[in-house]
Structure 1
Amino acid sequence: MAVDQQLPQSSVKLPDNLSAQLKKENPGAGEYRIGPLDELEVSVFQVPDLSKTAQVSATGQISMPLIGAVEAGGKTVPELEAHIASKLSEKYLQSPQVTVFITEYNSQRVTVDGAVIKPGVYPLSGPTTLLQTVAVAGGLNSVADPQSILVFRTVGDQRSAAKFDLSAIRDGKAPDPTLQGGDVIVVDTSGIRTIWGGVKEVIPVVGVFTWLL
């Protein structure tokens, strides 16, 4: 279940060092844009010779039969389908039906920091939840506060944050939010005042993203 992204009107002033860190690590999110190293399955209806599996290059391109290099980076799936169909229809096919399926999401990543066993940057392989991501990071360490999980997200140029209770999620008492590429997940520690503590205390509702200034 996706996170409720209706944002309250409250706002938070972040510490300067935290603000800079989030701006660097969290490039933005929204409708999925194909990126380098994503693996795509491209099918052209009734023309199997033009169908192939391709990995997006570091420069954002894939190579297709007949039409050669195609710019895939930065496009959504429908945009890429329309682009390939347009290229094929210029010289080779009449009204081609192109389908693109992302088989590996390698360009979208999330950062996991704080009181987990293995902090780091992890790729999103399709729809991935907060609980799944914490598990991939080795789970909570001995000083973690499971009721204080912060997710920082950028929508356009605006940063936001939400607080989650991992214990409630595990018990089925709260929804397990779906993450987006660029999210920064921070697990706070029990009884220790950190720079994250000031943020979590002013977020009014658990599970609802709040604008950050």
Structure 2
Amino acid sequence: MRSVRALILCLLTALALSGCMRHPAPEAAARPHNDLDALAYGGRPSSAPPPIARRDMRVRPARSAAVPVVYAAAAPPAMHDPAYRLDTGDRLRIVVYGQEGLTNTYLVDAGGKITMPLIGAVAARGRTPAELSAAIAARLRDGYIRHPYVAAEVEAYRPFFILGEVAAPGQYPFVPNMTAESAVAIAGGFSPRARRDHVTITHTDARGTVRLVVPTATLLSPGDTVLVDERWF
């Protein structure tokens, strides 16, 4: 009787052991899925990002929006061309160092001159800013200031004129680096009857006055007159 009980106990023990071998323990099957899981299971956080993060990093640059182009609303500063010849309508900034009473803004008048304290009228028409500075210094040196140091620059250029088939013909302030096309835009654009492929520019300098038929992309100079012709068909 005892031998039968021992045999049955051995069989039950063998069946129990075989079942445990076929089913691994749950703890051995559990694996952490992220850094928080790794900390919870006592492991170390994974140093490499998951595959989905790597795919996102590759796609993200392609989805980024293009940088918008910002256009300045303010007018560009006046250009300072050392070879520029002054004329009526130019506004100049004259600086006499150490002499606040002489340092000021001066307008070239209809006679082509500026008028300063102490020395009176000084011819500016046809001179460059550097030549005008030298002329003022020479006048000041003659009985007023022993060693004058004078600087002159154009603060605002003389206006340009636009006539013909535009919305608002007239006189407008000159903007550096402007073209005939931008002059038309300042004057309100072409009229319905305007010829748009070219304009006539009248330019005056020390060599005289010339009239040229040019494309609308041509650069203008201060004091130029732009004529927009009427088309015939």
Interval containing the TM-score (normalised by the shorter chain): 0.5 to 0.7
Gaps of 5+ in 2: 1-82
Per-residue CA deviations over 1:142-189 (Å, capped at 9, x if unaligned) read 22232233434456246352431x5xxxxxxxxx43212453323334
Structure-2 separation of matches of 1:135 and 1:79: 35
Which AA in structure 2 matches 1:184?
Answer: T
Higher helix share: 2
Aligned residue among 48, 51, 56 for 2:108:
56
Q: In the TM superposition, what is the alpha-carbon distance from 1:140 to its structure 2 partner? A: 0.8
Q: How much is the aligned-residue C-alpha RMSD, in angstroms? A: 3.0
The residue that corresponds to 1:118 in the other structure is 168
Structure-1 separation of matches of 2:114 and 2:198: 42
Larger Rg: 2
User: Is 1:161 matched with 2:212?
Assistant: yes
Q: In the TM superposition, what is the alpha-carbon distance from 1:33 to its structure 2 partner? A: 2.2
The residue that corresponds to 2:219 in the other structure is 178
Aligned residue among 83, 89, 92 for 2:144:
92
Structure-2 separation of matches of 1:147 and 1:77: 36
Gaps of 5+ in 1: 1-29, 167-175, 194-213
TM-score of the superposition, structure 2-length normalised? 0.52
User: Is 1:32 matched with 2:82?
Assistant: no
State whether residues 39 and 105 of structure 1, in contact with CA within 8 Å, keep that contact through their aligned partners in structure 2: yes
Aligned residue among 188, 193, 204 for 1:138:
188
TM-score of the superposition, structure 1-length normalised? 0.56
Which AA in structure 1 matches 2:146?
Answer: Q
RCO comparison, higher one (Cα < 8 Å, 6+): 1
User: Is 1:68 matched with 2:107?
Assistant: no
Which AA in structure 2 matches 1:114?
Answer: G
Structure-2 separation of matches of 1:64 and 1:38: 15
The residue that corresponds to 1:109 in the other structure is 160
Q: In the TM superposition, what is the alpha-carbon distance from 1:32 to its structure 2 partner? A: 2.4
> Could you list the runs of 4 or more consecutive aligned residues of structure 1 that deviate by over 4 angstroms after TM superposition?
none
Higher strand share: 1
Q: How many percent identity over aligned positions?
A: 32
Q: Relative to structure 1, is the Cα distance of residues 69 and 47 closer, same or farther in structure 2, using a 3 angstrom cutoff?
A: same
SS in 1 for 2:122: strand
